[in-house]
Amino acid sequence: MRKLKEILIVDDSKLARLTLSRLLGERDLEVIEAASVDNALEILEGNDNISAIFMDIMMPEKDGFEGLRLIRKNPKLSHIPCSMYSGELSDEAQKKAMICGAQAYLCKPANSEHVDSVLKTLESNLIAHDMRALTGQNEPMEELSSSQHVTGIDNRLKRLEDELDKAVKDRGNIYTSLEKRLHSLSEKVTRSLVSEHAVEQDKMEQRRFQSEIRTQIESVRHQVKIMTIITLLAIIVAVIVAIRPFIG
């Protein structure tokens, strides 16, 4: 039975091709790149060693769905297992891919776990084709690919579930951090209010003390004034008493 060896990546994005090519190269797979559907068809017509195809959806001139339909209509190419390779995550896109004859669906950006899962699905389809050839069966490849296609959907759902769990966890961490910050701010405000209250109390105490001092000073001044008057009167009386014999 054949195993995956030579992979064709069809994508108008050089970066997307490079990313997937690197992941496939790490698995000892040979990679051929095509920037368009027409370019891919030319390569496929001249190369019988390609064992699987990764096809982008959004491309100029012909999109990935059209490219997949053309491959499935070609008796020479229809047996090659294909996976869509796209950032389009809608259920509609995945259903359309299955109808057009895709066996798997790899979401961008690609990662090792999902690449391994898709490669396993594609290889299973390749082996199934070889077994049908040996037994003389010619069932359409699409009928045997539905269960493998579910793997791609399950992977996508798992990926979305992981992202959702991460988002919930991140939100919980944000709430915890916010709660700590609010608690810290509350303590700072309380200390500030207490400090301001203490300062205000000190100011009030100082004003009261100053008021008492002023009152005491005024009282002393008044007493001094009275004593001065009394002293002057006493002096006047003493002078009058002293000079009275001389006047009489």
133 part of a folded domain: yes
193 part of a folded domain: no
Residues paired with 10 in a beta bridge: 34, 55
- Which residue has better confidence, 79 or 173? 79
> What is the pLDDT at residue 167?
66
Read off the pLDDT of residues 4-42 as tens digits, 9 standing for 90 and up. Answer: 889 999 999 999 999 999 999 999 999 999 999 999 999
**What's the rounded mean pLDDT across residues 31-59?**
94
Number of domains observed in the structure of the chain: 1
132 part of a folded domain: yes
- Which residue has better confidence, 53 or 90? 53
Q: What is the mean pLDDT of the chain?
A: 81
Residue 63 has pLDDT above 50, yes or no: yes
122 part of a folded domain: yes
Task: Give Cα 109 to chain centroid, integer Å.
Answer: 15
Lowest mean pLDDT, pick from 33-47, 56-70, 127-141, 170-184: 127-141
Read off the pLDDT of residues 84-133 as tens digits, 9 standing for 90 and up. Answer: 999 888 889 889 999 998 999 999 988 999 999 999 988 888 776 656 65
226 part of a folded domain: no
Question: Could you tell me the CATH number of the domain that includes residue 19?
Answer: 3.40.50.2300
Residue 110 belongs to domain spanning? 6-149
185 part of a folded domain: no
CB contact burial 120-134 (16+ within 10 A = b; e otherwise): ebbbbbbebbeeeee
| Angle, helix 64-73 to helix 91-100, in steps of 10 degrees | 20
Residue 221 has pLDDT above 90, yes or no: no
> What is the pLDDT at residue 142?
45
> What is the pLDDT at residue 163?
63
Q: Give the C-alpha separation, 150 to 192, whole Å.
A: 62
- Which residue has better confidence, 210 or 51? 51
> What is the pLDDT at residue 21?
95
Residue 152 has pLDDT above 80, yes or no: no
Residues paired with 82 in a beta bridge: 53
164 part of a folded domain: no
pTM of the predicted model, to two decimals?
A: 0.56
244 part of a folded domain: no
